[in-house]
Amino acid sequence: MTEQSLREWTVDEARSTASGTAAQGAAWLIAFGITLTIAAVLSFFLPLEVAVLVAVFQGGVALPLAFALERRLGTAPMAPDHPLRSLSIQLAMVQIVALPAVIMMYTQNPALVPAVFAAIGGAHFLPYVWLHQTKIYLYLALAVALGSWAITLAGGEAAYRWVMIWWPVCYAVAAALLWRRHRQLQASGQATD
C-alpha cells in the first residue's frame, strides 16, 4: 500500500498528480509523432497499401518508446493505487475499439485510412481536456481530426501523404506546448511527479 492510498483524494488532486506523472502527455505525443513522421517519410517510398499499414501499426513501436521517453524526461510512473490509474489507461486505449473501422476502410479505399485513423486518434484526445485540465488537447483533437479530413477533401485520395505529414506536425506543436506547461506547473509546485 502506498502513501497515496492512505488518504482521501479530491478530483483536482487526482487529475493534477496524474498529469504530473505523465508530463501532461508530452512524452506520448513525442513518441507517436516520431513514429508517425517515419511512417510519413516511408509513404513516399512504399506502395499506398503498405504505407497506410505502417501508419496504422506504428503504435507498436511508439508505445514502448513513449514509456521510455516518460522516464527519460524524469517523470515517475503513476502509483498502482492512484484513483485515476484505470481511467487513464482506458482513455489511452479507447481508439483500439475503432480499429475495425480502420480495417474496413482499408479494404474499401486504403487512401482514406490515414484520415479515418487521424479522426479516431484526434477524437480520443477530447477526454484529456478534462484529465490534464488544458484546452491544448481540445485544439489538438480538432486540428488532427478536422484538419486531416479537410486535407483529404481538398486533395482527394492523393492527399493521404499530406495527412500523414499533418498529423505528426500537430503532435509536435502540442507536445512542445504541453512540455512547457508541465515545466511551468513544476516550477510553481502544482505538478507532482
- pTM (two decimals): 0.88
Contacts of 173 (CB under 8 A, 6+ apart): none
Grid cell digits, residue 127: 477526454
Rounded to 5 degrees, φ, ψ at 134 are -150, 140
Cβ proximity of 160 and 48 under 8 Å: yes
Q: What is the pLDDT along the chain (193 residues), one digit of tens a residue?
A: 455 455 688 887 788 777 777 788 899 999 999 999 999 999 999 999 999 999 999 999 999 998 888 888 767 777 788 888 788 778 877 788 888 999 999 999 999 999 999 999 999 999 999 988 999 999 999 999 999 999 999 999 889 999 999 999 999 999 999 999 988 988 887 654 3
Contacts of 113 (CB under 8 A, 6+ apart): 52, 55, 56, 102, 105, 106, 160
Question: Would you tell me how many other CB atoms lie within 10 Å of the CB of residue 127?
Answer: 17
Cβ proximity of 56 and 102 under 8 Å: yes
What is the DSSP annotation of 2-52? Answer: -GGGGS---HHHHHHHHHHHTGGGHHHHHHHHHHHHHHHHHTTTS-HHHHH
